Structure 1
Amino acid sequence: MAPGGNRGWLLRLVIAFSFAQGAVSMARPAVSYRALALGADERAIGVIAGVYALLPLFAAVPLGRRTDHGRCAPLLPVGVVLISGGCAMSGIANSLWGMAVWSGVMGLGHLCFVIGAQSLVARQSAPHEQDRNFGHFTIGASLGQLVGPIAAGALIGGRDMAGTSAFALLVAGAGGAVALTSLWHIESRTTSKSREEQGERVPVRRILRARGVPAGIFISLAVLSATDILTAYLPVVGEHRGIAPSVIGLLLSLRAAASIACRLVLTPLLRLLGRTLLLTVTCLLAALLCAGIAL
């Protein structure tokens, strides 16, 4: 199928991403609650949250290289399987080390899925459709981030925190597996550029020296770190202050709803402020708001 043709694949990809991201967004706070129930302190929660990104740290570049050669097909189902397995096994694990390992598997699965999906959108979209198709693609992430924490908060609670959080993780694993139904044959209907058409292999060092890339990496690192800390530690803050898991889930979903609202006004804000000023202002605002939550 030529780029810019029938976009049924895009709808199926958005649906799959909704379920996969929903599973991750449901599992992340559930992991914190289950770890607390198993006796974890704040440092252990941080380690478990950090391990989530440990495997992706080493796998990101090799997986990116794989998609450069048009081999993104296996990444989507493999990512879903790792996400679902990581969620389910985190619910079964009875030790903090076990939860950390399966949290890492979940993070690796999320990376596989996102890299494969982004590569698919880029390859299958005509140049004039890329911005629109990527915008539609992110709807899947937003829906998952919106629904996942609410679902986790609704299932977790009561005196048996360990049991209800384990059940939430099993539900997250089952929900993530639903994404496979939308991915069925999605790759066989798409085509990719041949290896010869993709040009020479660019060294990572040259990419890092390109103008704007180090700054972009640093900003992404700061924003995603803040988001991960909020997701992992808001349940801890809630437990210390007697806030119910259902309320914590609602707060995390409000963050996702705010991100959807920001996307709606992103284009006029870019025209008004420009990219550099917009990045600076929003990062400072986010820092103040994170500090406000702590206070």
Structure 2
Amino acid sequence: MIRLTLALALLLSVSIIANAQVLSDSILVEGNYRTFYFNKPPDTFRKPSLVFVLHGSGGNGRDMMKAAVKMDQQAANENTLVVYPSGYKRYWNECRKSSPAQANVENVNEQAFFDGMIQYFRKRYSVDTKHVFAVGTSGGGHMAYKLALTMPRAFRAITAIIANLPDTTNLDCEPAGKAVPVMIINGTDDTTNPYNGGVVVLGKNMNMGAVRSTDRTLAYWANLAHYQGKPTMENVPDTDPNDGKIVERYMYKEKGKPEIVLLKVNGGKHDYPNDIDVHLEALAFFKRQIQ
């Protein structure tokens, strides 16, 4: 029965993707046409929020849409427009100095790309530019960190999945020093993005340099928001006891301060846990920041 339910859910998701009217466009940024995808918004939208969903290294925006079907469905009912941009030649120019990706080598202007997209959706769909968010996986998580570090006035909050901040020796962004709400979702058994910090290697020869530990990454954002002491902790319901993963939620939350959250996936690798839908978690986190 469970397998049948999962199979039906998968078929429904595929059907939704196939039947949705997927739109794509591009904007010219310093000589490069940068592309993004989104489902046609309903006519009921009124000054919608805007959420960017960022793919991992080697991916693209169109394929990333398949990973966030449930989020896109729910967002459509919550006056939220979801957009899936593509990195430059499948990678982002994020904050890792050691990255051999062409986006980093050519130092493509990601800030101009995201600012251009925000203005695009403001003009065409009247999005609320005070309610702009980003959630990214792996390399996309690094790009989300860059947006929070360098464009904190443009982004209300970000979520980074299976990504730690670059180590100080591998950081080539100039942080603005402004605190924003941040949620991190990392697995303790992740060998690609080491939970306890270390060098990130993609494939055989793509050395992305060192990242901080998850604890140091959490502490960076918490310190920026002027939190002291330890965060509160609660166990997330173990809805799939067969996946070998247990999720714990650590939270800094005080009135007048940005909310800082870590979802620690005990036993998690460089993947998504089954106990939660990471994109729905991100959407709920974003929604809390405007309530």
Give the TM bin, normalised by the shorter chain: under 0.3
Q: Which has the larger radius of gyration?
A: 1
Q: Greater RCO between the two (CA within 8 Å, min separation 6)?
A: 1
What's the TM-score, normalizing by structure 1? 0.25
What's the TM-score, normalizing by structure 2? 0.25
Higher strand share: 2
Higher helix share: 1
